[in-house]
Structure 1
Amino acid sequence: MVYTLEVPNTYGYVVLGAGVGSVICNIVLGGPVMKARKQLDVPLPNLYATPGVHKNADEFNRIQRSHQNYMEMLDSYIAMTLLGGLQHPIACAVGTVFYYIGAILYQKGYIDKSLDVDLARYKKGGALKWIGFFTSMYSTCALAYTMITAK
């Protein structure tokens, strides 16, 4: 049996979010890292600052780690939103907005030195990214179920 899939007109929003949105968010999250490299004297190619070598290692590493977290999950997120968006394009497009705003707020919390590092990433709204993540995951599972059970 062949399953046919029609790409909805609103899928363009998913493509914009996954393609252009991911690059814009990456640039926004990379800005504080590059600024901190100069201010805290952590030159490239060092990904992280070394405690005992770099004076402000913890401060820099919190900034770098917040950006790295985004990069670690991005490929899975984009794959899920592109797939799930075939069946639920508006949900995935809106979820993408939540994901990127959440990633930026996650960084703001993680950078805040007045907060405990374990909770900092979620204190300023970083949990919003999980709304977008699970929206895309649900949409992808729904698409898979529809394809598997199609008659």
Structure 2
Amino acid sequence: MPIQIPDEYGYVLAVASSGFFVNMFHMQLTGMHRKKSGLKHPISYATEEQAAKDNNAFRFNCAQRAHANFIENQPTFLSLLAVSGLRYPVAAAALGATWMFGRVAYGMGYASSRGPQGRVFGFLVAMLAQMVLGGMAGYTSYKYIVG
């Protein structure tokens, strides 16, 4: 069976493209906390001792980790979004937008004064959306295999 791109697939593409802006948000968040911490490039993270003594260094580490976590999860998310969008473009786009929202909330929460505890809400939102997208992508793949 040939793969047909649904008319609504543009929504999927729009959500996928929004990842650029979410990545830029994480870059800005990390840069802001780097500046406050006084840590210069190429230092990737404050040491454990620096973070324990300086809240700005600790929050930089949190922002840096949130950004890294976004980058680590984005390829899997984009794959699930692209595949599930072939059969369910509007639902996939809505879940994708929810995932992006969750990733912004994750970054903001993690880099807040709450530190790692602040990431929980964003994690739950993004992970729930990603799990549903995973199920949809699996079902879409199955339907393409069996026809």
TM (norm. structure 1) is 0.86
> Gaps (5+ residues) in structure 1?
none
Matches within 5 A, 1:132-151: 132-150=129-147
Instruction: Name segments (4+ residues, structure 1) moved above 6 Å.
Output: none
What's the CA shift for 1:83? 1.2
Q: How far is the alpha carbon of 1:53 from its aligned partner?
A: 5.0
In the other structure, the counterpart of 1:104 is 104
Q: Conserved in 2, the CA contact under 8 Å of 1:91 and 1:135?
A: no
Residue 13 of structure 2, aligned match among 15, 37, 45: 15
Which structure shows the bigger proportion of residues in helix conformation? 2
Residue 13 of structure 1 aligns with an amino acid whose one-letter code is: Y
Q: Which of 37, 42, 45 is the equivalent residue of 1:45? A: 42
Identify unmatched segments of 5+ residues in structure 2: none
| Correspondence for 2:85 | 85
Q: CA RMSD in A?
A: 1.7
Count, aligned residues: 144
Asked if the contact 2:26–2:63 (Cα under 8 Å) also holds between the matched residues in 1, the reply is: no
- The Cα of 1:48 is off from its aligned counterpart by 1.4
Distance 2:101 2:50 in 1: 34
Identical residues among aligned pairs (%): 24
